[in-house]
Every structure is written in structure tokens, then in C-alpha cells.
């Protein structure tokens, strides 16, 4: 009585702590995926139930075969033995079909769930997403999503199959000899006692294991992405030591988990042996006393293993639930973050279709922005950019140039002030405010090397799938990149390695600019995009861009003032505002450079 009261108090404390409530919320989240695959789950369940029925049929035939042999009924041996072989072959076939169907459906569900979560991650609020390390995101998207897909397909069907297997075997035992039914429940008290201790340990171990997996994934990803820097600073020894330390932490954690598993397994195995030997002893006694025959005893011993196995499988679903809900919680952390609102996309597309030939400009008035960490970057900042203009943003590093680019691309939302796109001139054709849907107005060349592995042509066509070779070559010429691309053995079909490998920084920047120009959008953003070019090439690229017939609006950020005399207006970011520089100020900046 005291033990029962202790268990009730334990589970009530879990409810009060919110653990079970949180697990229930995670279960409902998983259900949203599970209900999409109910046909697959039904198929998997029916195959499992069929396998159980065939297995029970084999038990009956085995009983009859033993009775025939011990009763020397030679005439029926061949027929019964043939039935036994047929049932076992049937069980084997059902098992293989079930395994194949499970693998096929499992891979399909895994791919669909990962695709769905992948798309949700991509539309998650950018600043919120940057709170997570790339390695952690990869682990959540990979391992945790696979856990969900496996659980969606297997958990409910397996619960039904194991329960049916236990109930059906128990019913057969109860029908033939009720005394044997007692042995089916001998291990249950031990399982109940263990559940109180194991539940918290399982949850903690799963969380620690996934967190450590994410940590190691992040370390490996960063290391392999920065091998050049590691070599340049002679940090190989440090990184090897750091890896060994992480590995030692992982091994220590896994051994701790393994020790718990060993003690649990030993205890459960001991209970299983006690139940099995007790069943053997009781079966021998019942045969000796004449209550049952040899065949029935053989069947009972086989069903005893089935009962114990089914009960063990049902018990093992508890850690499966914990593992599943832990993965669900980690994914919910990501997919339940604020998402971007792309509802204005059709409206923007229609506006571009109608007014593209006029060119599209934009106005920012009294814009404010503060990052989530409390860093205030803009307070009542205003600027304007018109078609056929190059607008420059200058200022010390860290003052807000890149933040302004993020605002323009709606990676971060303005927190005050007004934004307005328009066609032709500001008062002529007013349009709409900044939103994720307005990204289609921009071509963007960020800082650093942003080329993807693949051919030059594949990189170009990533922004315009139907681009012809001639269009690609023309964009390369505008970006002053054709002079080195045409000398390559395969031209535009030459391979680019990961992170732009095989090309200098200046060449990679010109390829990035060409890709942005090929997209052919009304507004071009260049974020320190010419920093790796010599001054002459930088000026030539900007002249080519503005000499193009497209009524393009161009906004550049730069540390180098050498191209400022090409710009229509120059804004300096000062005191969290955008201030228009006078010609004298621009001239002084150029002379002081």
C-alpha cells in the first residue's frame, strides 16, 4: 500500500513539475505528423497482427506434433509436420514482407518529414535562428527528425501489435490451463518499481546525449569549414586536443548510460530467468500429475517466452516515448519560433510586372532597430534610393552597414518608422512596405565568398534556372569576370570547389556579382562586394552596372571611399542615423584614404 502511494505521489509530482504536460504537448505535435500516414500505419499493424496469428498457429501445431510423437501416432506425423513447416514458412514470408514494407514506408516518411521541417527552418525568423549553432541545427534536422519519422511509423502499430500478442497468448494459456497465466505477471511488479527510477534517468540521458551530439557535430562542422585558418595559425594540436576532450566527455556520458542499462538489463534478465524456470518447473509438475499432456506443456513454455517478450516490448515503449518526445521538443524549439510573413508576395509580383520598366526605388523614414541582445543600431534613420542611382553607405565597421542590408532584405523587421517602395519617382506610383515578399526585388552580393560547389553555370542558374549560356556570359562580362572564365578549359562549365575553392577572393567576388546581375532585379545590393578587387576593377564593375540599360537602383556599402565620386549620394552612418555627406566631406574622405 505504501509502495502504491509512493508511485502515485511520484507521478503527481511529475504532473506538477510540468514534465508530463510538456510530454503530452510534444505527443500532440507528433500526432500532427502521424495522422498523415495512417494508411501506412494500418498496413504495418495488419502485417504485425498477421505475423502474431501465424506464430500462435505454429504453437498449436507444435503441441499437436509433440502429442503425436509421444503417443506414437505415426500416421499423423507427416501431415502435422508439413503444417508446421508451412506455418513457419508463412511466418517467415510475412516477416520479410513486413520488414520490406516498414523500410519502404519508413524511408518515405523520413524524407517527407525532413523536407517539411527543412522548409519550416528556412522560413523561420532569421535573428531567432542565429541563436542556434549550425551543427545543432543539423543534428536536430537530421537525428531528431529521423527519430520522429521512425516513431510516427512504429510506435502506435508496435503498441497495438505487442498488446495483441500479449493478450492473445495470455488467452490461449488461460483457456488451456489457467494456472500458467500466473507466470505472465510475475515480472510486472519489478517493471513498475523500476519505472520510477528509470523515467527521470532516461529523460536526462536522452537530453544529454542529443546535446553532446549537437556539440560534436558543431565542432566538426566548424573545424572542417575552417581548415585553412587552423593551418595558418598552426592550431592543429589545439583542435586535436579539443576533439579528444569532446570524445572523452562523450565516452564518459555513454558509459554512464551503459552502466545504467547493464544493471537494468541484468535485473530484468534475472526476473526473466526466474519466470522461465518457474514455468518449466510448474509444467513438469502438471505433466507428472497428469493435468496436461507433453504437447500442452511444450506450447506453454513457448508461450511463456512470448508473454515475457511481449511484456518486455511493451515496457520498452516507455524509453521510446521519452526519446520520441525529447526529439519532438528539440524540433519544436526551432519550428515554433516566429516565422516570416510572405503573404505580400503576389502583390509585389503584380507591382513588378506593371512598373518594372520605370524602375523601382525605396524610401526609409525614421527607421529604428535594436537586436535581441539589446544592441541599438538605428534610431530615426532615413535614406532614399532611386532608379539609375548608386547610393553608398559608409561608416566604421560595426556601425550598422550590414544591419541596414539585413533590414532591406527583411531578414530583420524594422521596429519603428516607415518603409516604402515605389516606381519611377517617390510621389508617382507608391507601392508597399518592406516584407519577406519584397526580396524578389533584390539581387544581393554579401561579404565574403558565397559561391556554392558545382559548375560556374550551375551557380549562375541557381538564381535564374532558364538562363542561356549567352545570358551567363553577358553577366560575367558586366562583372569583369569573363576575362578569366573564358581562359578556363571548360569555360562556364568549369567546377567550383566548396566555399569557392579554386578561385581567388577577387575572382569569387566577381562571380558573385555576375550571379546577382543575371538575376536581373530592380535593386542591387553590394555589401562590401568589391573589397577584394583592385581599385581600377572596382570602378570598372560599378560603371558597367550603371551603364546597363536596366533602370537599376544600386546600394553599396564600402570601407573604401575611392568609388564614392561615382555615387549619386553618400550616406554616413553616425549616431544611429543616416546622414547625407556633402561633396566637400566626400572629397576629404577620398583624399584621406
Domain's final residue, options 300, 335, 370: 335
User: Is it the case that residue 17 has pLDDT exceeding 60?
Assistant: no
pLDDT score recorded for residue 23: 76
What CATH number is attached to the domain comprising 568?
3.40.50.300
| Domain final residue pick, 304, 335, 366 | 335
207 shares its domain with 115: yes
* pLDDT over 90 at 473, yes or no: yes
> Average pLDDT in the 363-390 region?
90
- Judge whether 308 lies within some domain: yes
What pLDDT does residue 170 have? Answer: 81
In the prediction, which pLDDT does 362 show?
92
Q: Is residue 365 part of a domain?
A: yes
Give yes or no for residue 504 having a pLDDT over 80. Answer: yes
DSSP assignment of 352-389, as one string? HHHHGGG-EEEEEEEEEEE-TTS-EEEEEEEEEE-TT-
Give the CATH number, domain containing residue 39: 1.20.1560.10
CA distance 360 to 381: 21
Distance CA 102, CA 106 (A): 6
Q: Do residues 395 and 250 share a domain? A: no
Say if strands 376-385 and 360-370 run parallel, antiparallel, or are unpaired.
Answer: antiparallel
Q: What is the 3-state secondary structure (H, E, C) of 508-566?
A: HHHHHHHHHHHHCCCEEEEECCCCCCCHHHHHHHHHHHHHCCCCCEEEEECCCHHHHHH
511: in domain: yes
Residue with cell 534475472: 270
Q: Please, which pLDDT band fits residue 367 given cuts at 50, 70 and 90? A: very high
Q: Is residue 581 predicted with pLDDT exceeding 50? A: yes
**Cβ atoms 140, 131 nearer than 8 A:** no
Q: Are residues 433 and 321 in the same domain?
A: no
- The residues facing 224 across adjacent strands are none
Q: Tell me: the pLDDT tens digits for 251-264?
A: 887 787 777 777 77
Least reliable range by pLDDT among 132-141, 177-186, 396-405, 468-477: 177-186
What element of type H or E holds 490? none
32-41, 314-323, 435-444, 517-526: range with lowest mean pLDDT: 314-323
Q: Are residues 494 and 473 in the same domain?
A: yes
Q: Are residues 330 and 388 in the same domain?
A: no
Q: How confident is the model at residue 14, as a pLDDT?
A: 46
Yes or no: say if 472 and 464 are a contact pair by the CB < 8 Å rule.
Answer: no
Q: Are residues 186 and 305 in the same domain?
A: yes
Q: Give the number of other CB atoms < 10 A from CB of residue 508.
A: 21
3 confidence band (pLDDT: 50, 70, 90): very low
pLDDT-based confidence at 365, cuts 50/70/90? very high
What is the SS3 assignment for 367? strand
Mean pLDDT computed over every residue of the chain:
79
Residue 396, pLDDT above cutoff 90: no
Q: Both 319 and 388 in a single domain?
A: no
CB 418 within 8 A of CB 433: yes
Task: Identify the helix (H) or strand (E) that includes residue 158.
Answer: helix 145-176
Phi-psi region of 188 (alpha: psi -120 to 50; beta: other; left: phi over 0): alpha
In a domain, 15, yes or no: no
What pTM was computed for the model?
0.70
Within-domain flag for 582: yes
Domain final position from 296, 311, 335: 335
CA angle 146, 150, 156 (to 5 degrees): 150
Which domain covers residue 137, as residue numbers?
A: 20-335
* Length, in residues, of the chain: 593
For residue 10, what pLDDT is reported? 46
Residue 180, domain member (yes or no)? yes
pLDDT of amino acid 72:
46
Strand order across the beta sheet in which 360-370 lies: 376-385, 360-370, 416-423, 429-430
Confidence check: pLDDT of 334 > 70: yes
Name the percent of the chain lying above pLDDT 70.
84
Confidence of residue 16 (pLDDT cuts 50, 70, 90): very low
pLDDT confidence bin for 187, thresholds 50/70/90: low
User: Which of residues 97 and 433 earns the better pLDDT score?
Assistant: 433
Residues 253 and 367 in one domain: no
pLDDT tens digit sequence for 518-537? 988 899 998 887 777 787 88
Does residue 311 or residue 540 have the better pLDDT? 540
**Percent of the chain topping pLDDT 90:** 10
SS3 for 45-75 is HHHHHHHHHHHHHHHHHHHHHHHHHHCCCHH
Which burial class, exposed, middle or buried, applies to 247 when counting CB atoms under 10 A from its CB (0-12, 13-18, 19+)?
exposed
Q: Classify residue 344 by burial, with Cβ atoms within 10 Å: 0-12, 13-18, 19+.
A: middle
pLDDT in tens, 72-89: 455 566 666 677 677 777
- Whether residue 353 sits in one domain with residue 320: no
Please count the structural domains in the chain: 2
Please check whether residues 330 and 349 belong to one and the same domain: no
* 205-242 burial code (b ≥16 CB/10 A, e <16): bbebbbebbbbbbbbebebeeeeeebeeeeeeeeeeee
Residues 298 and 353 in one domain: no
Q: pLDDT for 142-173, tens place per residue?
A: 888 888 887 777 777 888 888 888 888 888 87
The residue with greater pLDDT, 253 or 511, is 511
What is the DSSP-derived secondary structure letter of residue 387?
A: T
Q: 429-430 and 416-423 as β-strands: parallel, antiparallel, unpaired?
A: antiparallel
Q: Is the domain of 284 the same as that of 390?
A: no
Indicate whether 251 belongs to any domain.
yes
Asked whether the beta carbons of 459 and 507 are under 8 A apart, the reply is no
Selected residue with higher pLDDT from 273 and 484: 484
450: in domain? yes
Most confident of 230-239, 320-329, 345-354, 524-533: 345-354
Q: Is the pLDDT of residue 330 over 70?
A: yes
Amino acid at each position: 500500500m505504501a509502495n502504491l502511494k509512493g508511485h502515485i505521489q511520484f507521478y503527481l509530482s511529475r504532473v506538477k513539475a510540468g514534465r508530463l504536460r510538456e510530454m503530452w504537448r510534444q505527443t500532440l505535435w507528433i500526432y500532427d505528423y502521424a495522422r498523415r500516414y495512417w494508411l501506412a500505419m494500418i498496413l504495418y499493424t495488419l502485417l504485425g497482427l498477421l505475423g502474431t496469428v501465424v506464430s500462435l498457429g505454429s504453437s498449436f501445431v507444435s503441441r499437436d506434433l509433440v502429442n503425436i510423437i509421444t503417443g506414437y501416432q505415426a500416421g499423423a506425423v507427416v501431415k502435422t509436420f508439413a503444417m508446421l513447416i508451412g506455418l513457419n514458412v508463412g511466418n517467415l514470408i510475412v516477416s520479410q514482407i513486413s520488414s520490406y514494407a516498414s523500410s519502404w514506408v519508413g524511408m518515405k516518411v523520413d524524407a517527407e518529414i525532413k523536407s517539411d521541417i527543412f522548409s519550416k527552418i528556412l522560413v523561420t525568423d532569421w535573428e531567432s535562428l542565429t541563436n542556434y549553432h549550425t551543427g545543432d541545427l543539423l543534428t536536430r534536422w537530421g537525428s531528431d527528425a529521423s527519430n520522429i519519422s521512425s516513431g510516427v511509423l512504429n510506435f502506435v502499430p508496435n503498441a497495438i501489435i505487442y498488446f495483441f500478442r500479449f493478450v492473445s497468448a495470455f488467452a490461449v494459456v488461460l483457456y488451456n490451463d489457467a494456472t500458467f497465466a500466473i507466470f505472465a505477471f510475475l515480472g510486472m511488479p519489478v517493471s513498475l518499481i523500476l519505472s520510477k527510477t528509470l523515467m527521470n534517468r532516461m529523460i536526462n540521458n536522452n537530453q544529454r546525449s542529443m546535446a553532446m551530439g549537437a556539440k560534436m557535430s558543431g565542432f566538426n562542422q566548424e573545424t572542417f569549414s575552417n581548415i585553412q585558418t587552423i593551418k595558418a595559425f598552426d592550431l592543429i594540436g589545439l583542435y586535436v586536443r579539443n576533439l579528444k576532450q569532446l570524445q572523452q566527455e562523450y565516452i564518459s556520458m555513454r558509459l554512464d548510460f551503459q552502466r545504467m542499462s547493464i544493471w537494468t538489463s541484468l535485473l530484468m534478465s534475472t526476473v526473466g530467468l526466474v519466470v522461465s524456470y518457474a514455468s518449466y518447473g510448474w509444467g513438469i509438475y502438471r505433466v507428472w500429475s497428469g493435468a496436461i499432456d507433453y504437447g500442452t506443456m511444450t506450447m506453454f513454455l513457448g508461450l511463456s517466452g512470448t508473454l515475457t517478450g511481449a511484456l518486455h516490448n511493451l515496457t520498452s515503449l516507455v524509453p521510446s516515448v521519452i526519446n520520441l518526445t525529447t526529439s519532438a521538443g528539440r524540433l519544436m524549439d526551432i519550428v515554433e519560433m516566429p516565422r516570416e510573413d510572405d503573404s505580400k508576395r503576389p502583390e509585389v509580383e503584380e507591382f513588378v510586372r506593371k512598373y518594372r520598366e520605370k524602375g523601382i526605388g525605396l524610401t526609409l523614414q525614421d527607421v529604428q532597430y535594436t537586436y535581441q541582445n539589446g544592441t541599438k543600431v538605428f534610431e530615426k534613420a532615413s535614406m532614399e534610393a532611386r532608379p539609375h542611382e548608386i547610393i553608398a553607405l559608409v561608416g566604421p565597421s560595426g556601425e550598422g552597414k550590414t544591419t541596414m542590408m539585413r533590414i532591406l532584405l527583411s531578414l530583420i523587421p524594422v521596429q519603428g518608422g516607415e518603409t516604402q517602395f515605389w516606381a519611377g519617382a517617390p510621389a508617382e506610383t507608391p507601392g508597399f512596405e518592406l516584407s519577406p515578399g519584397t526580396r524578389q526585388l533584390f539581387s544581393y552580393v554579401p561579404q565574403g565568398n558565397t559561391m556554392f560547389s558545382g559548375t560556374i553555370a550551375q551557380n549562375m542558374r541557381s538564381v535564374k534556372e532558364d538562363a542561356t549560356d549567352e545570358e551567363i556570359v553577358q553577366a560575367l562580362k558586366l562583372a569583369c569576370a569573363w576575362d578569366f572564365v573564358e581562359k578556363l578549359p571548360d569555360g562556364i562549365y568549369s567546377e567550383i570547389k566548396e566555399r569557392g575553392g579554386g578561385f581567388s577572393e577577387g575572382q569569387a567576388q566577381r562571380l558573385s556579382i555576375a550571379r546577382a546581375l543575371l538575376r536581373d532585379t530592380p535593386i542591387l545590393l553590394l555589401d562590401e562586394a568589391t573589397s577584394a578587387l583592385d581599385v581600377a576593377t572596382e570602378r570598372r564593375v560599378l560603371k558597367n552596372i550603371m551603364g546597363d540599360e536596366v533602370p537599376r537602383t544600386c546600394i553599396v556599402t564600402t570601407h573604401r571611399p575611392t568609388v564614392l565620386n561615382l555615387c549619386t549620394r553618400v550616406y554616413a552612418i553616425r549616431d544611429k542615423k543616416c546622414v547625407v555627406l556633402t561633396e566637400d566631406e566626400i572629397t576629404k574622405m577620398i583624399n584621406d584614404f
